[in-house]
Amino acid sequence: MRLTVNHVTRYAYDPAVRSVVQSHRLTPSSFAGQRIIDWEVTVPGGTKGAQHRDGAGDLVQGWTISGPVSEVVVKVTGTVETEDLAGVLRGHREAILPDCYLRDTPATRVDAALDQLARGVVAADPLGLAHALSAVVADAIAYRPGVTHAHTTAAEALALGEGVCQDHAHALIACARARGVPGRYVSGYLFADAAGAAHEAAHAWAELHVAGFGWIGFDPANRCCADDRYIRLGSGLDAPDAAPIRGIARGAGREAMDVTVAILQATQ
């Protein structure tokens, strides 16, 4: 599938701040199921800094915006060709060992309820366990926008029984780690046609490391594995670690953010 992306993030500062420094993880991953046709990230008025590929295989680009700064606009446009590999992250080059993703974070810390949910799953093999964990998380947390916030933890979302894709991903990661399965958070985009499930185009899911297969993407919010409708940007231990945009503003201005994302299927 050939998908086009138009993603604009606007930051407003009141009063203006002295400067802003950002780190972007906004370039699609390179692996067998995903190929960039064209891609551009621009920050009007900003200065592009150094870039590097981190240990997880993600391209990280720095930007600096000199002040006074009252608004920062990050524009992402491009086209990506995707292939359905049933969620398997084949051909992705990275240096971090999977066991590093057994470490918990405040967002994915396992409480008694998450541990009980994870240990109640019975499966005959590692792949079956991964699928079953994704299914129980989908059953336990109903998709409902607006009931959680950016800092909601996996334990809080499970207790509430509702949440969004971020909450599903955090809960699945927590349950996987409770069973000794490395899990990580993935940020990206999701396309769906008129028959697709409701979702936000800027999306998140989890990858679990399954013996014999490697990393496999699971999306409890949509009860499926990542397929050719998904564009993978980057990964991390949790949502803050995998954030597409991270930044620091120098000054006391209050920050407001607005995001618009459109994903369309392009003509081949």
Could you read off the pLDDT of 175-186 as tens digits, one per residue?
Answer: 999 999 999 999
What domains appear along the chain, each with residue ranges and CATH number?
2-81+244-265 (2.60.40.2250), 84-236 (3.10.620.30)
CA 152 to chain centre: 15
**pLDDT tens digits along 110-161:** 999 999 999 999 999 999 999 999 999 999 999 999 999 999 999 999 999 9
Phi and psi angles of residue 173, each rounded to the nearest 5 degrees, phi first = -60, -45
How confident is the model at residue 245, as a pLDDT?
97
Residue 138 · residue 165 · CB < 8 Å: no
CA 149 to chain centre: 15
Compute the mean pLDDT over every residue in the chain, rounded to the nearest whole number.
95
In angstroms, the CA 151 to CA 124 distance is: 35
For the CA atoms of 249, 253, 256, 262, the dihedral, rounded to the nearest 10 degrees, stands at -40
Q: What is the rounded average pLDDT of the residues 187-211?
A: 82
pTM exceeds 0.85, yes or no:
yes
Look up residue 188 and give its amino acid.
G
With tokens 């810390």, the residue in question is 109
Neighbours of 243 (CB within 10 A): 18
Q: What is the rounded average pLDDT of the residues 200-206?
A: 90
Band of the pLDDT at 67, cuts 50, 70, 90? confident
In angstroms, the CA 268 to CA 45 distance is: 34
Q: What is the rounded average pLDDT of the residues 22-26?
A: 98
202, two tokens: 């800027």
How confident is the model at residue 266, as a pLDDT?
84
With tokens 């029984």, the residue in question is 161
Listed residue (191, 156, 189) closest to 170, CA to CA: 156
265, two tokens: 């299927």
How confident is the model at residue 199, as a pLDDT?
61
What single DSSP character describes residue 28? P
> Is the pLDDT at 194 greater than 80, yes or no?
no
How confident is the model at residue 201, as a pLDDT?
80
Q: What is the rounded average pLDDT of the residues 39-66?
A: 97
In angstroms, the CA 5 to CA 79 distance is: 6
Cβ neighbourhood burial of 69 (10 Å; 0-12, 13-18, 19+): buried
More confident residue, 192 or 220: 220
Residue 83 · residue 34 · CB < 8 Å: yes
With tokens 């991964």, the residue in question is 130
Segments in the chain forming alpha helices (H): 112-119, 126-140, 154-160, 165-178
In angstroms, the CA 246 to CA 240 distance is: 8
Neighbours of 199 (CB within 10 A): 18
Neighbour-count burial for 150-159, b at 16+ CB within 10 Å, e otherwise? eebbbbbbbe
